[in-house]
Amino acid sequence: MTHIDAGAELDPVHPVPLPGGARATGLTAAEVAERVARGEVNDVPVRSSRSATDIVRANVFTRFNAIIGVLWVIMLVVAPIQDSLFGFVILANTGIGIVQELRAKRTLDSLAVIGEARPTVRRDGAAVEVPTAGIVLGDLIEVGPGDKIVVDGACVEADGLEIDESLLTGEADPVVKRPGDPVLSGSFVVAGGGAFTATKVGREAYAVQLAEEASRFTLVHSELRSGISTILKYVTWMMVPTAIGLVISQLVAEHHDLRDSIARTVGGIVPMVPEGLVLLTSVAFAIGVIRLGRKQCLVQELPAIEGLARVDTVCLDKTGTLTEGGMDVTEVRLLGGGEGDEERAGYVAKVLGALGESDPRPNASLQAVVDAHPVPAGWRCTRSLPFSSARKYSGASFDEEDGQSSTWLLGAPDVLLAADDPALEATEELNRQGMRVLLLARAGEGPDVLDAVDGTAVAAAVRPVALVVLEQRLRPDAADTLRYFAAQRVRAKIISGDNAVSVGAVAGKLGLVGAEAAVDARTLPAEPDAMAGALEAGTVFGRVTPQQKREMVGALQSRGHTVAMTGDGVNDVLALKDADIGVAMGSGSEATRAVAQIVLLNNSFATLPSVVAEGRRVIGNITRVATLFLVKTVYSVLLAVLVVVSQVEYPFLPRHLTLLSTLTIGVPAFFLALAPNTERARPHFVRRVMRYAIPGGIIAATATFVTYLLARHHYTGAGALDAETSAATLTLFLVSLWVLVIIARPYTWWRVVLVAAMAGGFVLVLVVPWLQHFFALKLVGVFMPWTAVGVAAAAAAVLELTWRWVDVRFPA
């Protein structure tokens, strides 16, 4: 039994040697307790979301909340409560944003626990699973294919152990590890197995930064977020000088009552702030996270919802995505023929059983062999070559029950056989039926035979013995999902390490267009542009190496495509990392889940359409409602400028614009932001929004100011200002309502009801006496109100024509 002295300094390069090759038993329970007491634990919390404090701070302490808050306090002092309603609206909106993000946080945190990696450690000689945070300094951690190295360490045991350190070094070739070699956190196992001693845990391990970056609830790299920030920056620049001019105009030029001047000044400043836009975006994203969480979809990076909505090409790995993980052995076909086939079949069954037992962590293909063939008595594995996606075969040397020695390989027939071997014809026929075929081949003799065949000349060094035919289980939801992508104009590319003909047959069964022309990736040109052309033309690609998957993603991106990559195996990690959006299956390898932005915890490929739909809903709807908010900002700034230039009273009190904002923006935007929307997201968010908001705001401001000037000329005497304000408010409401009418298209019953309800709400204010008094709105006479309606109708017609012209002149 080997222990590491609790007080000794651990050498990451030279771990404690094992006498006589004995198997290390790991720490004892007492030693673990000692290390925990000393704080030598991997206790760095990996957050799957922002903390509650961060959420509250982000929603409360904003630039515009500060501006609105100051104005609100001023209005509470100098004006009636009606003119302070905007402050209560901001409080309510901020509260809604906090509640929704906290709900999203709870959803993310609970899902992150489900998807959390649980490394296997050896303690008291037994292998047990512990959470990542439960690892202590000196723990002996077992690893196998697909496992992520979560802490720094030193290799103690190695059985063909190959580790990919590309996420750290950028070098894609796996590194063979032997006892004594350092093992770096953030890397992952691609072949073989072994164990290593933890030499750096907690904040000392490089995995801390990697893990936090991989799973943090983040708001970066989002065109929607950055676009809104850009808009807000320009709004601030416009707002400050305009507000200063308005203050001077109302307080100095007009010489009005101080309280009334302040109230009208604030009334001009408040609507310039598109405060609800940021809030509504956060709420829409948060609700998206919650909706997807209910479908067991973990969104590890928030912009992934947005990103997948922009995807136009999705690359799918066949195994685990189109097919279920399990397989069944349907036939073992002997090659060569001749007498004694029954005896040969029995011997081959023993070989397959021994090969299955030689790998402690079999992949899906080998697991099917294990399930079909029991371990033979008297066979002992003396050397093994783990399966690798790069070489596409595995092998082992045995001492058989009769004392003979033999070496066997099991893998891809088109890799292990010469190009002219007749067995390939049978393989191709089986592949065309959608079967997966492995070749069992005998290698030469000698202790170094596995090293000799582990190269490019393997076909000349082996003798084919049998074909192992496997039937793959198609996912029942795969066909519907592929049809959904086709209907949404998202091109599906099947990229698999399996035989191209077999992959094409599987894709053909699922109805994928172009599956009949499957391409062997070994024939693809290496030059990126030429490869991109081949990828544009083809749909199904087989015999793709892990590095090729990465190159294919890059080639598609070079043609301007937004690429999503799905996968569950360790051979998918590099491509998942480089894709615009990486989607991993929950049952996939640790490394795959770590680099993916989205993890399908229920392993259901059918969840992907929900993710795409959620992203499209968020982006499409936020683009719609952003136009509503920014039309208000533009007309508010322009109205203020016109008032300053004309040296007249500002026509509105804060209560008027609070009423208009609620009926034409706030309430409708909330419903429109959460409505279904299947339109694929398009780029240039700022340009798309402003091309409508600027002309819309100019038309609304011009029409309102025209009505106001006409009313100032028409009304005289006491109460004239209230009558002028009422007429201008009517025009502004009607124009803003028409903006809503345009934004709400295409109409559904609930959209029509929504617009009608907002119009009804305004009518209610005009006809109910106490509401008239509360909002200081009362239409006087007949001529001016109908004039206000006429001006609004003309403005609506101009708005309709202008936006149609914009669609033609400045297409999105």
- How many residues does the structure list for the chain? 812
Quick: pLDDT tens for 401-426: 887 888 888 988 888 888 888 888 88
pLDDT tops 50 at residue 809: yes
Q: What's the CA gap between 111 and 103, in Å, rounded?
A: 12
CATH of the domain at 361: 3.40.1110.10
pLDDT tops 90 at residue 709: yes
Residues 322, 240 contacting (CB under 8 angstroms): no
Q: Does the residue 432 lie in any domain?
A: yes
Q: Does the residue 138 lie in any domain?
A: yes
Residues 41, 134 contacting (CB under 8 angstroms): yes
pLDDT band at residue 230 using 50, 70 and 90 as cut-offs: confident
Q: Does the residue 418 lie in any domain?
A: no
Nearest in space to 484 (alpha carbons), one of 307, 297, 616, 317: 616
Highest mean pLDDT, choosing among 483-497, 629-643, 729-743: 729-743
pLDDT tops 90 at residue 102: no
Q: Which residue among 603, 633, 654 closes a domain?
A: 603
CATH of the domain at 318: 3.40.50.1000
What DSSP state is assigned to residue 186? T
pTM: 0.66
On whether both 687 and 786 belong to a single domain, the answer is: yes
Q: Does the residue 450 lie in any domain?
A: no
pLDDT attached to residue 729:
94
On whether both 593 and 633 belong to a single domain, the answer is: no
Residues 619, 278 contacting (CB under 8 angstroms): no
Strand partners, 439: 411, 467
Q: Which residue among 582, 603, 624 closes a domain?
A: 603
Residues 331, 471 contacting (CB under 8 angstroms): no
pLDDT tops 90 at residue 765: yes
CATH of the domain at 733: 1.20.1110.10
Token readout for 284 is 């829409």
Q: Which residue among 603, 634, 649 closes a domain?
A: 603
Sheet with 313-316, strands from edge to edge, namely: 297-299, 598-600, 581-585, 563-567, 313-316, 491-495, 540-542, 519-520
Nearest in space to 143 (alpha carbons), one of 295, 360, 332, 312: 360
Q: Does the residue 215 lie in any domain?
A: no
Q: Does the residue 487 lie in any domain?
A: yes
On whether both 103 and 177 belong to a single domain, the answer is: yes
On whether both 556 and 488 belong to a single domain, the answer is: yes
Q: Find how far residue 485's CA is from the centre of its chain.
A: 17
Q: Which residues 6+ apart lie within 8 Å of 624 measured at CB?
A: 672, 673, 743
Question: Would you name the residues annotated as active-site residues?
Answer: 317
On whether both 512 and 631 belong to a single domain, the answer is: no
Number of domains in the chain: 4
pLDDT attached to residue 211:
45
On whether both 573 and 700 belong to a single domain, the answer is: no
pLDDT band at residue 457 using 50, 70 and 90 as cut-offs: low
Q: Which residues 6+ apart lie within 8 Å of 103 measured at CB?
A: 286, 290
On whether both 243 and 386 belong to a single domain, the answer is: no
Strands 120-123 and 140-143: antiparallel
Q: What's the CA gap between 422 and 434, in Å, rounded?
A: 20
On whether both 17 and 132 belong to a single domain, the answer is: yes
Q: Does the residue 377 lie in any domain?
A: yes
On whether both 728 and 786 belong to a single domain, the answer is: yes
pLDDT attached to residue 324:
73
On whether both 301 and 350 belong to a single domain, the answer is: no
Quick: pLDDT tens for 593-607: 777 888 888 877 778
Of the chain, the end-to-end C-alpha distance in Å amounts to: 70
What DSSP state is assigned to residue 514? T
Give me the torsion for CA of 345, 351, 355, 357, rounded to 10°. Answer: 100
On whether both 165 and 246 belong to a single domain, the answer is: no
| Listed range (42-56, 189-203, 280-294, 508-522) with the worst mean pLDDT | 42-56
pLDDT tops 80 at residue 221: no
Q: Does the residue 242 lie in any domain?
A: yes
Calculate the average pLDDT of the chain. 81
Structural domain boundaries, residue 645: 220-290+612-809
pLDDT band at residue 253 using 50, 70 and 90 as cut-offs: low
pLDDT attached to residue 265:
77
